[in-house]
């Protein structure tokens, strides 16, 4: 950038564009409407959603597919409505930039009671400081450009949300652009890196049955190729966490499945928990990833590497980057492993044979769904049995899997489909959502119509909150039944099918894949008490804790 004059709003948009952010999700309001007008004049497209929280979910999914995402809302009612979505993005390391309008600096006088204001003018900013990696209030023109750089750099570097509050009287103020600070990479301390790698490589080399447990950070930082190289060159088998599903091509001979304590298959659990060297790469050790802490992993036999820390057994190495450590593991010093006998671990699924008139069950529905997956689809399960059931899907090589498998906020999937398809235009979202979650955010189907998107929405209708039923049953788990198939008529676009049997589901999925112009909804009627094998396994263990 040259030494020319730009307004604060223009500079912010220019910087967002430099991070390849081509869409901003949100809803206008009077504190931010000037900036919305500026977005309209820029190369970035503004994507209107039906509510602020769903703008956050959409921007989160956009960030996961595109590298970085952005949402823009008004002050108070907008910014505070997004808190849940931003907290989820922080928890799951998704690089989302939140831009909120705000009262003008000159308006913020003592005693002034401006609409949308809570306790005081700085309440919203203070809340966002708790759920972002960096935040700023652009209250000083001379520092505004540097503050924008600082927040965006932190979001990019740490893959976590950032917050920029833009007072309405600052949007059009001009400042001189003096330099463009680069988003530089972090560097390892060479001696510490050598020590960490020597320790890790010696530990792996002396082990008899090492296993890689791969997680979501490999997605976030774009290190899937590094994982693949390590597994192939050294012949080490790979399992993933639920949050990291699809980080390894699932048809690959070294990929064995998902590890999740009691949630996972017994064979996978046995393999991981009896390994004398577990190489944990980019995985969050969360309760959901670990089957609600039904997992049994010992630090004494683990190499644990994330963007936050590198640990080998009981030793932690500071000033070592995740990338340098991953690259170093591929060195010739790490021996290629003799071929392990893993046939006992591999799941040999019997070919699915449809029984035309058989009533749908969760288990067979997911087995059937597996037949329809292709490289063009992005699978987005919502929370609950949609997620547990989808864990057993065997994804084609280029099929992405996006889920909130740690923070688990119901209602994520349909707005996420909007963000995911705009972030990866060649893909088509396949959303798997329960009736409870659909009733929270299903209004985003109107956004798919508005912007010409074409998700397939599979609604698993079990008449309530099915994940809760095995824990504690009660009327609080029941919800009213909607006429889901009437929604296309109400919205003026889309197609819907109600299915009760395997034959009806088969026909509906074929019709959905053939209809590429607009959304298709399939309502699958299920028994209230029916659940996936994974949820059955998990519920048995977790009910003891709850």
C-alpha torsion sign, points 477, 483, 485, 490:
negative
According to the model, what pLDDT value does residue 76 have?
84
Q: Among residues of the chain, what percentage have pLDDT more than 90?
A: 67
User: DSSP assignment, residue 478?
Assistant: -
Distance between CA 515 and CA 496 in Å, rounded?
11
pLDDT tens-place string over residues 192-248 = 999 999 999 999 999 999 999 999 999 999 999 999 999 999 999 999 998 899 999
Which DSSP helix (H) or strand (E) runs through 219?
Answer: helix 217-220
Minimal CA–CA distance to 384: which of 464, 482, 268, 443?
464
Q: What is the dihedral of CA 86, 88, 90, 91, to 10 degrees?
A: 170
According to the model, what pLDDT value does residue 35 have?
94
Is a pLDDT exceeding 90 seen at residue 172? no
Cβ-Cβ contacts under 8 Å for 91 (sequence gap 6 or more): 406, 407
User: Of 57 and 298, which is predicted with more confidence?
Assistant: 57
Mean pLDDT of 314-341: 91
Is a pLDDT exceeding 60 seen at residue 526? yes
Mean pLDDT of 97-120: 76
Beta carbons of 139 and 74 less than 8 angstroms apart: no
Res. 282 pLDDT band, cuts 50 70 90: very high
Mean pLDDT is lowest, of 126-140, 223-237, 356-370, 397-411, for 397-411
Crossing angle for the helix pair 52-66 and 83-91, nearest 10 degrees? 30
Is a pLDDT exceeding 70 seen at residue 355? yes
Is a pLDDT exceeding 70 seen at residue 296? no
Q: Which domains does the chain have, with CATH numbers?
A: 5-176 (3.40.50.970), 190-329 (3.40.50.1220), 362-542 (3.40.50.970)
User: What is the per-residue burial (b if ≥16 Cβ within 10 Å, else e) of 142-156?
Assistant: eebbebbbbbbbbbb
Taking CB atoms within 8 Å and a gap of at least 24, the contacts of 437-440 are 437/382, 437/383, 437/384, 437/386, 437/410, 437/411, 437/412, 437/413, 438/382, 438/414, 438/484, 439/479, 439/482, 440/410, 440/411
pLDDT tens-place string over residues 492-518 = 999 999 999 999 999 999 999 999 999
CA distance to 50, 125, 130, 309, 341, per residue, from 116 (Å): 19, 13, 20, 41, 63
Crossing angle for the helix pair 224-234 and 322-329, nearest 10 degrees? 20
According to the model, what pLDDT value does residue 506 have?
97
Is a pLDDT exceeding 90 seen at residue 380? yes
């Amino acid at each position: 950038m040259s030494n020319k004059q730009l307004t604060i709003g223009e500079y912010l948009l220019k910087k967002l564009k430099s991070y390849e952010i081509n869409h901003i999700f949100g809803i206008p309001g009077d504190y931010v409407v000037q900036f919305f007008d500026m977005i309209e004049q820029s190369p970035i497209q503004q994507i209107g959603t039906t509510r602020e929280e769903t703008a956050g979910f959409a921007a989160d999914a956009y960030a996961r597919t595109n590298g970085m995402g952005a949402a823009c809302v008004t002050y108070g009612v907008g910014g505070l409505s997004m808190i849940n979505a931003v907290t989820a993005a922080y928890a799951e390391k998704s690089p989302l930039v939140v831009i909120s309008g705000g009262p003008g600096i000159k308006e913020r006088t003592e005693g002034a009671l401006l609409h949308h204001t809570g306790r005081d003018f700085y309440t919203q900013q203070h809340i966002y400081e708790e759920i972002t990696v960096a935040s700023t209030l652009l209250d000083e023109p001379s520092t505004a450009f540097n503050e924008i750089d600082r927040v965006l750099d932190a979001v990019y570097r740490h893959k976590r949300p950032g917050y920029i509050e833009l007072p309405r009287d600052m949007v059009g103020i001009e400042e001189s652009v003096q330099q463009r600070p680069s988003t530089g990479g972090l560097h390892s301390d060479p001696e510490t890196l050598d020590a960490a790698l020597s320790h890790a490589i010696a530990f792996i080399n002396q082990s008899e049955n090492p296993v890689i447990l791969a997680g979501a950070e490999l997605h976030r930082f774009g290190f899937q190729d590094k994982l693949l190289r390590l597994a192939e060159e050294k012949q080490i088998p790979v399992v993933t966490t639920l949050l990291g599903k699809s980080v390894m091509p699932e048809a690959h001979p070294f990929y064995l499945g998902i590890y999740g304590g009691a949630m996972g298959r017994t064979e996978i659990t046995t393999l991981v928990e009896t390994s004398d060297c577990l190489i944990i790469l980019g995985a969050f050790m969360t309760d959901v990833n670990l089957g609600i802490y039904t997992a049994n992993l010992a630090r004494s036999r683990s190499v644990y590497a994330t963007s936050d820390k590198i640990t080998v057994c009981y030793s932690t190495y500071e000033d070592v980057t995740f990338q340098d450590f991953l690259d170093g593991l591929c060195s010739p010093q790490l021996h290629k492993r003799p071929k392990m006998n893993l046939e006992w671990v591999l799941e040999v699924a019997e070919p699915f044979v449809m029984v035309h008139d058989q009533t749908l069950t969760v288990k067979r529905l997911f087995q059937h769904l597996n037949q329809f997956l292709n490289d063009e689809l992005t699978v987005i399960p919502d929370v609950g049995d949609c997620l547990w059931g989808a864990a057993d899907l065997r994804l084609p090589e280029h099929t992405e899997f996006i889920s909130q498998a740690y923070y688990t906020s119901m209602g994520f999937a349909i707005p996420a489909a909007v963000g995911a398809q705009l972030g990866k235009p060649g893909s088509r979202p396949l959303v798997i959502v329960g009736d409870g979650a659909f009733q929270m955010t299903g209004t985003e189907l109107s956004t798919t119509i508005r912007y010409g998107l074409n998700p397939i929405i599979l609604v698993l209708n079990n008449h309530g909150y099915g994940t809760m039923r095995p824990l504690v049953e009660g009327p609080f788990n029941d919800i009213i039944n909607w006429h889901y198939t009437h929604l296309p008529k109400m919205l003026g676009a889309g197609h819907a099918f109600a299915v009760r049997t395997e034959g009806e589901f088969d026909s509906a999925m074929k019709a959905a894949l053939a209809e590429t112009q607009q959304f298709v909804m399939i309502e699958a009627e299920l028994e209230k008490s029916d659940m996936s094998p994974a949820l059955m396994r998990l519920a048995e263990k977790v009910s003891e804790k709850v």
